[in-house]
Structure 1
């Protein structure tokens, strides 16, 4: 890549003479380097590396979270098995996922190097980090409770990703509320689900305006859109899980719209 250095250098020469030429070439070099990095991130090879790393990181950290409270519950095992089934993994991939889960659950496992490698690969793709954290939150809530050890383990992972406690708490509230709409559609939900749950599932307050509500809904749907997730590096099989999340969000939104008479 040299177009940035060429163009900026010529502009610098015209506007500032020899000194402008030097400054222009320097600025152009920074532009070329940034462009090269962007193109490299989007290359098929890089996307393939990100997908494999996303897969590995997910199951390693799921094992770490499941063992955070000292034991792996039957609900957590069932949830992990459900994830594997939903992903449609073949026999080899299933063995790999289970082995990664076991490694993450080992007493001497440390999440820091795993998360550091993930961040190195995904770089500034913040949405990719949020998607991974959502998968982990889903596991932590598999047994319908979150004890102090699991919360601390989640907080530890979130901090490594540069995600603050307030944002993590918001994700937890949304995930807990969205679970009420799992497997439902058309604005229906589990018995006992309230309108407050629907608002919490979208991460908004009850007094939000109709336009702002629609904007929040569309943003969540966009973040979970299969094409966008695949382009960011989420493995194709894991996109199926995000599709279910979209259905939960849509059901919560439809419940609110029905209540508002839309």
Structure 2
């Protein structure tokens, strides 16, 4: 059974007139985590699209890069997106429900934020409304500013990324301390770890861009210490 079939089943359980936000209260078990993650990314992407006022072809393509959508599953993905766009519930309410759904699992919530950054930057433009949107979502998720800035630095090309920010470390830390953080990030980016956190297998490809960014940052920091 594909994840999109399971998503359609989750939507079918909604009572007539019930908000899409209600789905997040029902997908709490380990077996539902991949479905919950996919719906969360789609729903918040739809709310983010309303934040900057448009949905570009590039953003649609980027979503397809995060989740492989077969032709027969396109209707299901479109239904989730449209339900979220039309839902009177605000994105803050969605974010709170999603936070409750994943609890203190900030690793999965950061994975979700990465998917949103990937989609937001797909058109090579980062709208101020998208920045405010993602910053508020991160705040609701309980992601501290250092971790948010690390996520942002890996995606937003508004300046040369600071390698310490990319890794989420303080420049005063020793090289060995920074090495441990880097190794932990690499370990957490392994596909098996990501699937274990609840990401659908289709979304694990997000780790490729993350690994490029964190490895480049580590190499730059190591070179500075060697100089």
Residues 144-179 of structure 1: per-residue CA shift (max 9 Å, x gap): 4433322222233223323355643443234336x9
Distance of 1:210 and 1:166 partners within structure 2: 19
The answer for the alignment partner of 1:218 in structure 2 is 183
SS of 1:71's equivalent?
A: coil
The answer for the alignment partner of 1:171 in structure 2 is 151
- Alpha-carbon distance change, 201 to 116 in structure 1, aligned in 2, over 3 angstroms: closer
- Alpha-carbon distance change, 198 to 69 in structure 1, aligned in 2, over 3 angstroms: same
Match of 1:78 among 20, 36, 58: 58
Match of 1:90 among 58, 63, 70: 70
Quick one: higher RCO (CA 8 Å, sep 6+), 1 or 2? 2
User: TM-score normalized by structure 1?
Assistant: 0.63
Distance of 1:171 and 1:86 partners within structure 2: 16
User: TM-score normalized by structure 2?
Assistant: 0.71
How many aligned positions are there?
200
The answer for the alignment partner of 1:237 in structure 2 is 202
Distance of 2:146 and 2:164 partners within structure 1: 18
Structure 2 unmatched ranges of 5 or more = 1-27
Residues 237-246 or 106-115, more deviating? 106-115
Larger-Rg structure: 1
Aligned Cα RMSD in Å? 3.1
Shift of 1:121: 3.1
- Alpha-carbon distance change, 86 to 50 in structure 1, aligned in 2, over 3 angstroms: closer
Structure 1 unmatched ranges of 5 or more = 1-44, 180-192
Match of 1:48 among 13, 31, 39: 31
SS of 1:65's equivalent?
A: helix
The answer for the alignment partner of 1:160 in structure 2 is 140
Distance of 1:110 and 1:241 partners within structure 2: 26
